[in-house]
Structure 1
Amino acid sequence: MTPDNIIDVSEADFEYEVIEYSQNTPVVVDFWAAWCQPCKVLAPMLEKLVKETAGAIRLARVNVDENPNLAIRFGVRSIPAVKAFSGGQIVGEFTGVQPESRLREFLSRIQPPSPAGLALEHALSLLNQEQWAEAEPILREVLEQMPGNPPALLGLARALLAQGKAREAHNILSAFPASREFANAQTLLPLAKAMEDLRHHQPGEEPDEQSAAYWNAIRLAARGRIPLALDGLLDLLRQDRRNDPVRLTILGLLEVLGDDNPQTRSYRRELASILF
């Protein structure tokens, strides 16, 4: 623990250590008391996540029994209560114990962008432009600086799948951490599995036309020709809208493209018109 990063504050020094300090660095204030059991659950999670910011966020702890005027001043009616300050103002708050994923999201909203965070934004922008190969090394570098970062992991899996690198993508998706991006990762898994299975399906060896068309679409997707792959898969779904492998593969490819890609919106409308 670094004393400047995680501190105890009182009525005497709150103005300087929180209000003034927040002009340059966001400060998260944890209002707690020794008798409060939920406070003892929340505190170590907050400390862990604030430490991970390496000084980008300060955690200030206020014992409400010892500093009742601060609790009154900031309208604390139940604890644990957490309030985030930036520029001398409250910019976020919550009450009660929250899961770690919610805490990460809360802190991410107030944390100033780091070089790795800016690089991640750039890489995700490249993905939205379908510049898969250009995004991949940036995402790998981001993950070296922020190991296990869910948006970076998801972005790397998308980049890998668009380049036909299914095995590594499958490994990432199979061990994906619990996070807001977990559902997106699950959507990509059937596509990764299908691409991995390509080696068992050589052209001209399929038992019927539908199977041949399906594996041809997977082959196109592995070569980065996603729109052609989607066109073929949608044709198959029109023939049998109960074909779950085809439907799940389509959803995986749309996840690779990303929601900000104009093609995704068009293909989703087409998919909906077939299914409903």
Structure 2
Amino acid sequence: MINVTIANFEAEVIEASHHTPVLVDFWAPWCGPCKVIGPLLEKVEAAYAGRFKLVKIDSDQEQQLAAAFGIRSIPTCVLLMNGQPVDGFMGALPEGQIKEFLDKHLPPADELEAMAEEEDAQEAIADDDLEGALEKRQEAVKTDPDNDDARFDLVKLLLELGLDDDAKVAFAPVIAKAAGVRRLDSLRRWMAARDAHAEVVDPQARAAELQAAIATNKRDFESRFALAQLLMAHGEWVPAMDELLEILMRDKAWSEDLARKTFIAILDIIEPPKPKVAEGQVPPEDPTVATYRRRLSSVVLS
């Protein structure tokens, strides 16, 4: 529990809420019900073990903050997430009702832990600490083996590091359901592309060979798809999508929709993690992903 003033409000409440939900308890020393709910809030904070952060604001001493939140009676509690108030309650609620209020908004403990691991992994990647990022993602999967997003992030990083055998081991537990979970299916298609071209000694020579075949016959879809897979295997995503679009513009349903499904797989793989935004707002989309998603829609719907 932290006592907040106007001086530390931005750091302790607004900034902190972008990482962990913050419950603000507006109180005053003379308020009887405040003395009842205060210890309950501290007890719940300890029991929730980091799932939210509790701060207290003396509404008499910090009238500017109380006015900003429209506080008319105390105790009043306001929950902030991603820098914005999302809900609140007035009065000295019993412990059970406080927990019900929190559980409506807070992610489950295992999901929160996985989210924290992924945030740490992203920070490690930004710091070029790939080994640290890998450890964080492995821990996230270990903590919650059924979290498909955590497994996607782990397998993706292993493939990016060229650890294909480790990626296949990490992917093995979800093979059976991959066809029904799009992001997992996208990883499967990426691994298939890498396997298909694992023994190509000279990728540039192979690419030139495929391009020559395509120049002879624009409808040589097998060569176009092989080229797209070769580019995909080596992380050349935009040229790969361009080849797949060439197929789709000529035959949308070629080979049981293979080009479209592979195109979507690439979009899943290259899409960066969504940044946190205030509730109700839409996070900005990656420019490349947005552009090629529009191109796909334009071709498929034309």
TM-score (norm 1): 0.52
**Residue 265 (structure 2) pairs with residue 252 (structure 1):** yes
The 3 A distance-change label for structure 1 pair 23 and 157 is closer
Based on CA coordinates, which of the two structures has the bigger radius of gyration? 2
**Residue 227 (structure 2) pairs with residue 216 (structure 1):** yes
Counterpart for residue 192 of structure 1: 191
Counterpart for residue 148 of structure 2: 150
Contact 1:132/1:159, CA 8 A, preserved across alignment: no
**Residue 37 (structure 2) pairs with residue 22 (structure 1):** no
Identity in percent:
19
Contact 2:124/2:132, CA 8 A, preserved across alignment: yes
The structural deviation recorded for 1:123 is 2.8
1:137 equivalent among 116, 134, 137: 134
1:239 equivalent among 250, 257, 262: 250
Question: How far, CA to CA, are the matches of 2:264 and 2:168 in structure 1?
Answer: 16
The Cα RMSD (Å) is 4.6
Question: How far, CA to CA, are the matches of 2:194 and 2:116 in structure 1?
Answer: 31
Contact 1:190/1:252, CA 8 A, preserved across alignment: yes
Contact 2:189/2:265, CA 8 A, preserved across alignment: yes
**Deviations 1:50-79 (CA, angstroms, capped at 9, x unpaired):** xxxxx557xxxxxxxxxxxxxxx98xxxxx
Contact 2:141/2:151, CA 8 A, preserved across alignment: no
The structural deviation recorded for 1:166 is 4.6
| Structure 1 residues 37-186: aligned runs within 5 Å | 85=98, 90-93=101-104, 108=107, 117-124=115-122, 137-143=134-140, 146=143, 148=145, 149-162=147-160, 165-176=163-174, 182-186=181-185
TM-score (norm 2): 0.49
Aligned length: 195
Question: How far, CA to CA, are the matches of 1:84 and 1:198 in structure 2?
Answer: 58
The structural deviation recorded for 1:140 is 4.1
Question: How far, CA to CA, are the matches of 1:253 and 1:156 in structure 2?
Answer: 17
Q: What is the SS of the residue equivalent to 1:218?
A: helix
Q: What is the SS of the residue equivalent to 1:176?
A: helix
Contact 1:167/1:196, CA 8 A, preserved across alignment: no
The one-letter code sitting in structure 2 at the alignment partner of 1:240 is D
Counterpart for residue 65 of structure 1: none
Contact 2:156/2:269, CA 8 A, preserved across alignment: yes
The 3 A distance-change label for structure 1 pair 136 and 15 is closer
Question: How far, CA to CA, are the matches of 1:90 and 1:197 in structure 2?
Answer: 52
Q: What is the SS of the residue equivalent to 1:90?
A: helix
The one-letter code sitting in structure 2 at the alignment partner of 1:223 is H
Question: How far, CA to CA, are the matches of 1:227 and 1:187 in structure 2?
Answer: 16
Gaps of 5+ in 1: 1-13, 27-54, 58-72, 75-82, 94-105
Q: What is the SS of the residue equivalent to 2:101?
A: strand
Question: How far, CA to CA, are the matches of 1:135 and 1:240 in structure 2?
Answer: 45
Contact 2:237/2:266, CA 8 A, preserved across alignment: yes
The structural deviation recorded for 1:170 is 4.4
Contact 1:198/1:219, CA 8 A, preserved across alignment: yes
Question: How far, CA to CA, are the matches of 1:134 and 1:17 in structure 2?
Answer: 42
The structural deviation recorded for 1:155 is 0.6
Counterpart for residue 97 of structure 1: none
**Deviations 1:108-143 (CA, angstroms, capped at 9, x unpaired):** 3578965x643411435788x8x8957852444534
The 3 A distance-change label for structure 1 pair 150 and 126 is farther
Say which is worse superposed, 147-156 or 237-246, in terms of deviation. Answer: 147-156
